[in-house]
Amino acid sequence: MDSIDLEKSVSNFDDLFTVDKVDYLNIMPFRLVTVHEKDLWNHYVHSCKMYDFYHTWYYHSLDKSGEPILFVFQREETFIVFPLIKRLIEGTSFSDFTSVYGYAGPISNVDFETMSQAVMEDFKLAFLLFLKDGQNVSVFCRLHPIINHDLLVTKFGSMVNSGKTIAINLISTIEEQRSKYRRQFRSKIRQLREKGYYLKQADTTAEISEFTKIYNENMARVKADSYYHFDENYFVKMLNSDDFKSSVLLLYVGDQITCGAYVTFSNNIMQFHLAATNNNFLHEGPMKLLIDEATLIGRNNNMAYLHLGGGVGGKEDSLFDFKAGFSDLILNFNTWRFIANNTVYDELVLKKKNAGNNKSDFFPLYRDSNNL
């Protein structure tokens, strides 16, 4: 099969939709906010109805896989913003977009459930024009299970259910919340309290250092990819960010840390972002008590949800089953896998296959799985 000229194939974008040859920037007002515009980025994000720390400037500034951008579409008083990471496609003049580690997606200062269809359609057209203008091949985004932006993303198609996540409802009474726990979990939590296990929020560099060590030992034990390893500096910087509130929660027995978790507080969402158990205390299962104690912290901070996340890679595995032991609030975890230029996409995939890479369980297919 003859290879097409990737540089000339940008014209295939015209097959996606038809627009009059006018200055669309004047009729479809949008702009890009760069990582160098911290205040403007956070102004938009913090003005949204629902957002999480994953959307903030600081969290995006940590991502070194590409160039963080905030796509901003505005129509009168309504705006929709979409944080993304732009990546160049090696050997071509094309690029694509991905999302940060975690749960991102578009957000707005208007609830998507009440947003007019006209605004959504205009956003769709503006975003497609933006993709065309920038020679962008595809978009991959991990959508947020709690934020209802699926209503907007479905306008484009290509939304894929990638698993389930678990959240604990903190609006209910504490009695109702705990009644959802698996019976064995309630029993274990009671036993751990009787043994003198107690919660402490890390407030020294030594505690952050010890938590980092426990976390990375955990990642090594489960043979996690290097993508999931973080150094002490990562946690220190996150804790010191003024874009969102966060804390490292530690569960002690005596003077020993048995497990810990880095948690965030944004809007009304508490994220159980990263957690690990000391290898010496795995048999005790202290994480059960830590999660229960974390819900009390969340309630004190007026959070509506403690989001525990899902299984590894969205699978309903042993990790998912553990989290499901705390709540029956099961959420859909969707990803958006949009191909903006089918011709270029197919050619890139073909080249990848010819190079001996023929995996099909990730997106986009022309990249390696660890580049997602």
pLDDT in tens, 201-211: 999 999 999 99
Q: Domain spanning 165-332 has what CATH number? A: 3.40.630.30
What mean pLDDT do residues 260-279 have? 97
**Domain spans of the chain, in order of start:** 9-157+341-371, 165-332
pLDDT in tens, 273-317: 999 999 999 999 999 999 999 999 999 999 999 999 998 878 889
- Kindly report the number of other CB atoms within 10 A of residue 10's CB atom: 18
307 alpha carbon, distance to own chain's centre:
12
222 — pLDDT class (breaks 50, 70, 90)? confident
* Low-confidence winner among 91-105, 128-142, 352-366 (lowest mean pLDDT): 352-366
Give the whole-angstrom CA distance, residue 80 versus residue 72: 6
Whether the pLDDT of residue 339 is over 50: the answer is yes
Whether the pLDDT of residue 50 is over 50: the answer is yes
pLDDT in tens, 189-205: 999 999 999 999 999 99
Tell me the whole-structure pTM to 2 decimals: 0.88
Give 3-state DSSP helix, strand, coil % of the chain, rounded to 5: 40, 25, 35
* Low-confidence winner among 9-13, 244-248, 264-268 (lowest mean pLDDT): 9-13
What mean pLDDT do residues 102-127 have? 96
**What pLDDT, on the 0 to 100 scale, is given for residue 22?**
38
**What pLDDT, on the 0 to 100 scale, is given for residue 13?**
37
300 alpha carbon, distance to own chain's centre:
24
| Segments in 31-93 forming alpha helices (H) | 38-46, 57-61
Whether the pLDDT of residue 17 is over 50: the answer is no
Question: Which helix (H) or strand (E) is 131 found in, with range?
Answer: helix 117-133
Reported as half-sphere exposure (CB side, CA atoms, 13 A), residue 334 has a value of: 22
Terminal alpha carbon distance of the chain: 28
Domain 9-157+341-371 annotated CATH 3.90.1150? no
99 alpha carbon, distance to own chain's centre:
7
* Low-confidence winner among 13-17, 73-77, 273-277 (lowest mean pLDDT): 13-17
Topology alike, domains 9-157+341-371 and 165-332: yes
26 — pLDDT class (breaks 50, 70, 90)? low
Using DSSP bridges, classify how beta strands 159-169 and 198-201 pair: parallel, antiparallel or unpaired.
unpaired
Q: What is the mean pLDDT of the chain?
A: 90
224 — pLDDT class (breaks 50, 70, 90)? confident
